Amino acid sequence: MADTHEKSFFHWDGDTLVVNILGKPGARKDAIGKPKEAQLKVSVTAQPRSGRATDHMVTFLAPLFGVRERDIEVVFGRESVHKQLRIRNPLTWPQIFGPLQKPASGVKSKGGQ
């Protein structure tokens, strides 16, 4: 893989998309923001109590990636703003990811957000 000047907030591990997140709980609306260094900003309306904001984030993100909630694993950061998610076999993804190519097969980018 070629070395790039910018650190990416995501990478592929087989058919699993690994995403580094900078979470913002207690936001006015659920939304995907812009990358900040090697993390993607994701805001959710849920309050940060006992991992509930992370659970809400998974619920918010699942349909954007065309997966079930159980297909998203929180690797670390359930009770922190710094998280890593593993999204198994995503069928679509938000436009912020650009024209990704899934290693095993092509996947369509989902516009919006």
The CATH number that applies at residue 64 is 3.30.1200.10
pLDDT value at position 43? 98
Domain count, the chain: 1
Residue ranges of the chain whose pLDDT lies below 70:
1-6, 100, 103-113
pLDDT value at position 7? 72
- End-to-end Cα distance, the chain: 29
- Phi and psi at 103, nearest 5°, equal -55, -45
Q: Is residue 98 part of a domain?
A: no
Range of the domain at 17: 10-90
Residue with tokens 């097969």: 105
pLDDT value at position 82? 97
Residue 85 DSSP SS3: strand
pLDDT digits (tens, 9 = 90+) for 37-53: 999 999 999 999 999 99
Q: Is residue 96 part of a domain?
A: no
